[in-house]
Amino acid sequence: MESSIPPSCHAVIFDLDGTLVDTLPDLHHAINLVLEEEGLKTLAKEETRLMIGGGARNLIELAFAKREINADPSRIDAGFDRFLKYYGAEPTARSSTFPGVLNVLENLSKKGIAMGVCTNKPQEMAEQVLKALKISHFFGKAIIGGDTLSIRKPNANHLLAVIEKTGRVPKNALMVGDSETDVSAARNAGVPIIVVDFGYTALPPEKLKGDVLISHFDELIPALVSIGFGN
């Protein structure tokens, strides 16, 4: 990354669930509705937290596996459809942006830094969440969900496609995420990554080996500056 270029040439790409937004309460509610309908024991919130990051269908697969159900594809599909229905009906009833997110997005915007969202969450749901929480305008068209392309994180091309939509280039981009999937996507794309330690990773955050680890969004801009970004 070139620190000598102006901030207006930089881009910061965010993961959504567990990074920008604490979506766990609504995801947990919706997946448990599906499990209840299946006659299965519901998940504890901590169990659900460790299943987030691979997309909604993956969440269904992991939930069935957790209950030792070897579900066939048709059962997974049916559960996935019901999950989308329940979650889509109220995707932010219990969710909120993490502390400090709005302030950081406003500050980056004032600096002219472009921003995007790279998430494995379905496109329509990602846009619903961002719009409902009144932060979608910070990202414009640079929002790509997990069902929009033929690939998704950790494939580098998912992240690179978001960077392209910001109008910036990979060498001047950086990612912010919370999981092994995010770190792998960033490494595969050859961009630095700042990891937040309050997300949904199954691994301890310090073991994700991001370039910088932060515990609050108030630390994000100083972290950017510390690695020569956005000066």
Please check whether residue 29 is in contact with residue 132, taking contact to mean a CB–CB distance below 8 angstroms.
no
| 3-class state of residue 84 by DSSP | helix
Name which of 14, 163, 171 is nearest 98 in CA terms: 14
Please report which helix (H) or strand (E) contains residue 11, including its range: strand 11-14
Asked about 15 being catalytic, the answer comes back as: yes
In angstroms and rounded to an integer, the radius of gyration of the C-alpha atoms of the chain is 17
| 3-class state of residue 145 by DSSP | coil
Name which of 143, 137, 102, 190 is nearest 14 in CA terms: 143
- Residue 37, number of CB atoms within 10 A of its CB: 12
Name which of 91, 31, 105 is nearest 61 in CA terms: 31
Residue that the structure tokens 């970004």 belong to:
229
Helix pair 56-66, 73-89: axis angle to 10 deg: 120
- Rounded distance, CA 31 to CA 153, Å? 22
Structure tokens at 224: 């950017």
Q: So which residues are the catalytic ones?
A: 15
